[in-house]
Structure 1
C-alpha cells in the first residue's frame, strides 16, 4: 500500500535524506523502517500493559491464597495440639 505525506518542511526532508544516506538506504526505506518500528513499539507497549495487569491480578491472588493458607495452617496446628 502506498502512503503520501504532504507539506513536510524542507529542513526535515533534508534531515531524513542525511539519515538515510548514513544508513545507506533510500528515504523510502528509512521511513518504512521508522514507521514499522513505531507501530511495533505500540503493539509491544499494549502487550506489556496487558501483562502488567495480569501480573497485578496474579499477585493479588497469591496474597489472598497466602493469607488463607496461614489461617488453615493455624487451624491445623490447633487441631493437632488438641489431640
Structure 2
C-alpha cells in the first residue's frame, strides 16, 4: 500500500514538473515577444493654450494681483466706514 502511494506521488510530481516547464516556456515566449515589440510613435495632441507652463504662471500672477486689489478695496471700504 505504501508503494502505491509513492507511485502516485512520483507521477504527480513528474506531471507538475512538466506542467511548470510548459508554463515557464509559455511565459518566456510571451515575455520575449513583448520585449521585441516595436512601440509605434503616436502623435500627441497639442496642449491647450491655457495649459502651457507660461500661461499657468501668468494666471497665478494675475490671481495674486486680483487678490491684492481686493484686499486694498476692502481696506478702503473699512476706512470709509470709520
TM-score normalised per structure 2: 0.47
Q: Which has the larger radius of gyration?
A: 2
Give the number of the structure with larger relative contact order, counting CA–CA contacts within 8 Å between residues 6 or more apart: 1
Q: TM-score, normalised to structure 1's length?
A: 0.47
